[in-house]
Amino acid sequence: MSESCANTALERMLRSLIDHEEEFRELDASAGDGDLGITVRSTATALSEWLPQNSGGSTSELLAGIAQVCASTSPSTFASLVSRGLSAAAKALEGQQREDLSSLVVALEAGIAMVQRRGGAVPGDKTFLDALVPALEAARTATSLTQALSLMRISAIAGTEQMVPVIPQHGRAAWVGERARGVPDAGSVVVIRALEALDGTGGQPWDGNTARQ
């Protein structure tokens, strides 16, 4: 992906995340404290302002910069974990000149490993790892960057929907136990909305309501 292409995709993603604030707020309120919409909107807004002035460097530098904005704007659990994951991804890409499918996989592997290590959750706990890990597995099977983004979106949706009937095992949602059954994990839905916007192939947006039980 060329630099301008990547920036356009990022801007599209940030806009979409801001537009979905209410969806994130409501999902989070049903299991947690309802601040996820605010976290995502304020972080995405700060990134929209930061991005135009900081887009000249390498992918590694870009990811490290985004991580810094995520850590300082509204460092809730979600934003803090995303920040740590992006920092790890930036480190994994340090010194790499190419921006191809293999570097996407390397970045995802490093980022997800860090989120697991720092957050303490594992796939199946009903956290955003249940969207991210299937997305990584899909990226590994892809033959192009474009195809990877499309497959990642589809796999993240499948992974999230699979967890809807499950009781969360980690984080704040686990405290409400049985009552979080039947509702998609809010952080996973953020991943889905981000991937939808990044995936230039388009397609019908995921209907979160039909996923509820």
Partner 1 sequence: MRKIMNAPKDFVDDFLDGLLKAYPQDFRSAPGFTRAIARVEPTGADSKVAIVTGGGSGHLPLFLGYVGQGLCSAVAVGNTFSSPSAETILAATKASESGKGVLYLYGNYSGDCLNFDDAADMASEEGIETVTVRATDDVASAPPAASGSRRGVAGLTLAYKCAGAAAAAGYTLSETAAIAARSLANTRTMGVGLSPTIIPEAGRPTFQLSEDEMELGIGIHGEPGVRREQMGDANQITDVLIDAILAELELTASSRVVVLVNSLGATPEEELYIVYARVAHRLATDGVTVHRALVGRYATSLEMAGCSISIMVLDDELASLLEAPSYSPLLRLF
Which residues of the chain form contacts with partner 1 (CB under 8 A)?
A: 25, 29-35, 37-39, 42, 71-72, 74-78, 80-81, 84, 118-120, 171-172, 174-177, 179
- First CA to last CA across the chain, in angstroms? 39
Nearest distance, CB of residue 191 and partner 1, angstroms: 17
Q: Which is nearer to partner 1, 18 or 174 (CB)?
A: 174
Residue with tokens 């991943």: 191
- In order of 37, 39, 55, 177, 184, the CA distances from 76 in angstroms are 11, 7, 25, 21, 19
Q: Which is nearer to partner 1, 55 or 77 (CB)?
A: 77
Nearest distance, CB of residue 35 and partner 1, angstroms: 5
In whole angstroms, give the CA distance from residue 130 to residue 161: 9
Nearest distance, CB of residue 213 and partner 1, angstroms: 17
Q: Which is nearer to partner 1, 11 or 35 (CB)?
A: 35
**Contact yes or no for 127/174 (Cβ under 8 A):** no
- CA nearest 139: which of 150, 131, 129? 150
Q: Which is nearer to partner 1, 41 or 153 (CB)?
A: 41
Nearest distance, CB of residue 79 and partner 1, angstroms: 8
